[in-house]
Structure 1
Amino acid sequence: MTDREAPSAAGRPPGRTGLRRRIFAWVHARGVPEYDRLVAARKRELFRTLAGDVLEIGAGSGANLPYLPDGVNLIALEPNLHMHPYLEQAARQSGRPVDIRVGTIETLDLPPESLDGVVSTLTLCSVDDLEQALAVVLRVLKPGGRFVFLEHVAAPPHTWQRRFQDWLQPAWSFVADGCHPNRETDQAIQRAGFAWVELERFHLPLGLASPHIAGVAVKGP
């Protein structure tokens, strides 16, 4: 089975399917507990100020649901159809209503200035067009809305880790559902047009998927 776009229904964006994405979803769902052990405190701190209508980009297997405050109305956007059974199970276990949608942030069909918050964790590494994705985030946020992110990013230039990331990127993207370990996501967020960006850079023992950034970007008036 090759990777492909699954047919859409009722005009909805197509989902992504195929053997590689099925395997990635299975591995991802089983790796969540170990990863969350490393970042749980940061997630709790980042998410505690979210309220109202919130979009999660690349919701995956639903790992972030336990960290969202009560009262958040969540739209969970996930293009990999093989993630959806895990995401649906996590939504049931959370006891909160979750609007699960198929699609990518670049093709998101939501009105401008309709959201109070957007969340992205380990997702911007794999979007097709990073600049366009961040432009959509800005478009759908209300003035004063918060973009909360926790991502792995490229190592500093001219380091052995960055050279390794650059060398392995094509193969890594193939097996890891489009992930780019050498993507300079921190720089892209800072130049995307947010009024204010607070960003922390830190390291985790995750090989290619380190260093990390965590922070909040706020849309201006």
Structure 2
Amino acid sequence: MREASILLLRACLALLAMPIYLLSFLGIWQPFCKKVFFPYFLEKFSAVHERKTKKHKQELFCNLSDFKSPSGELKLLEIGTGCGANFQFYPPGCKVTCSDINPNFQQALSRSMNKNQHIHYERFIVAAGEDLNQVPSGSVDAVICTLVLCSAHNVNGILKEALRVLRPGGAFYFLEHVAADHSSWQYFWQQVLYPTWKLVFDGCCLTRETWKNLEAANFSELNLKHFRVELPWMPIQPHVLGYAVK
């Protein structure tokens, strides 16, 4: 009965979103989404999400300086930099390499960089998180990844790359929205919305249990916390955050 209800509601939602499905079939939606819609949406959404998660991020990134290299430098690699929402939380003087598979965030990213002159921006890499071959192995002290794994093609591939580029003792920081409890109504609606949401929001998956990937990765230590972000009418309230040490 539950499965039938999900399928019926998915069909109704698909009818409402038919213009987007048609544009996708014609090959028009994806380029428009990546170049125009999603960069615009992400900048607006990031501002709201930032207000809701600011205290969580302050607590999450407060020990970044503990992972400085023996030379005293702190080199960060951010996967899926987007609009640069995390820059304000990085320690002064750290060196940041930004990466994103979508190069169309430049205007918002430039504004964020101008607001956060306390850090040194080394370079911007256009690359998927699963293929960071431009970053040498063992060359960074910390990898940052927030609201990225939900839309990754291969979550385990990103974690593998993070382990590769981290020096021994380096840390992988994460904050991601995840699937709700399977017995909850929120998970029911995540399942209903899943196909259309993924299409509209550039591959974002609502039902990923990302904590399981983190637990199965080859980190020596994992600090993980489940929490909720109060985003009314949004199906992405359950989150996980924490850091894992190589």
Indicate the TM-score class for this superposition, using the shorter chain for normalisation: 0.7 to 0.9
Q: Which amino acid aligns with 1:190?
A: E
Match of 1:120 among 145, 149, 152: 145
Q: Provide the residue aligned with 2:32 in structure 1.
A: 19
Say whether the 8 Å CA contact 1:78–1:102 is kept in structure 2.
yes
Q: TM-score, normalised to structure 2's length? A: 0.79
Structure 1 unaligned blocks of 5 or more:
5-17
Moved over 6 A (4+): none
Q: TM-score, normalised to structure 1's length? A: 0.88
CA–CA distance in structure 1, aligned partners of residues 53 and 120 of structure 2: 25
> Which has the larger helix fraction?
2
Structure 1 residue 67 and structure 2 residue 89: aligned?
Answer: yes
- Once the two structures are aligned, what percentage of the paired residues are identical? 34
Q: Provide the residue aligned with 1:48 in structure 2.
A: 62
- CA offsets per residue over residues 99-146 of structure 1, 9 Å max, x none? 222111111112211110011111110111111111111111111111
CA–CA distance in structure 2, aligned partners of residues 72 and 24 of structure 1: 29
Match of 2:124 among 77, 100, 123: 100
Match of 1:155 among 161, 167, 180: 180
Structure 1 residue 28 and structure 2 residue 53: aligned?
Answer: no
Partner SS for 1:105: coil
Say whether the 8 Å CA contact 2:150–2:205 is kept in structure 1.
yes
Q: Alignment RMSD, CA only? A: 1.5
Structure 2 unaligned blocks of 5 or more:
1-26, 66-73
Partner SS for 1:82: coil
Say whether the 8 Å CA contact 1:50–1:72 is kept in structure 2.
no
Say whether the 8 Å CA contact 1:78–1:84 is kept in structure 2.
no
Q: Provide the residue aligned with 1:85 in structure 2.
A: 107
Partner SS for 1:39: helix
186-195 vs 201-210, greater mean Cα deviation: 201-210
Q: Larger Rg: 1 or 2?
A: 2
**Displacement of 1:3 after TM fit?**
5.6
